Amino acid sequence: MPAADLEMQHRREAAIDALIEIEQSLDFSRLATIFPQPRYELIGSSRVYAGADEVGRYLRERRSAFPDYRVEIVSRYHAAAAVIAEMWVTGTYAGRLGDVEAGPKGFRFRMAGFFLFDGDRLTCFRNYYDRAAIARQLA
């Protein structure tokens, strides 16, 4: 593989790692440096969040509902304009999400995340997950 391709892969992986760290810390001051026009597409719930304000609101609401929400990347696959990552996602439902009351139950599920890029600039985070599997664990 040419060195330039390896460098691009490393820059993309660094952007993904930084995004996950920003999600964990809720340090949105760094979001624009790696994700200038953030867009989250949640295929499991048919929701799209676009722009820094909407994405920030979504991440804060998610953290409120699941204060210990964590993502662990298991593997990554590089494509021409994307990095596809398999991840374990865990958390405990301790807050409120919409009209669903919290319970002391946790979840662990596998998710596939498509991190779409224009060069080394992250343009979209599209994730696929089984919403019913999460609901069963929280019931």
Q: Are 28 and 111 in contact (CB under 8 A)?
A: no
State the CB neighbour count (10 A cutoff) for residue 75: 8
Q: How confident is residue 19, by pLDDT bands cut at 50, 70 and 90? A: very high
**DSSP state for residue 100 in the 8-state scheme:** B
Structure confidence by residue, pLDDT tens digits, 50-106: 999 999 999 988 888 888 999 999 999 999 999 999 999 999 988 766 656 667 788
Which of 24-28, 51-55, 89-93, 123-127 reaches the highest mean pLDDT? 123-127
What's the pTM value of the predicted model, to 2 decimals?
A: 0.90
For the chain, list the domains and their CATH numbers: 3-138 (3.10.450.50)
pLDDT at 137: 85
Residue 118: the pLDDT is 96
List, in sequence order, the alpha helices (H) in 26-86.
Answer: 31-34, 52-65
Structure tokens at 90: 């865990």
- Give the closest residue to 113 by CA, choosing from 138, 79, 136: 79
82: helix, coil or strand? strand
DSSP state of 30: G
Closest C-alpha among 138, 135, 134 to residue 102:
138
The rounded distance, in Å, linking the Cα atoms of 95 and 17 is 26
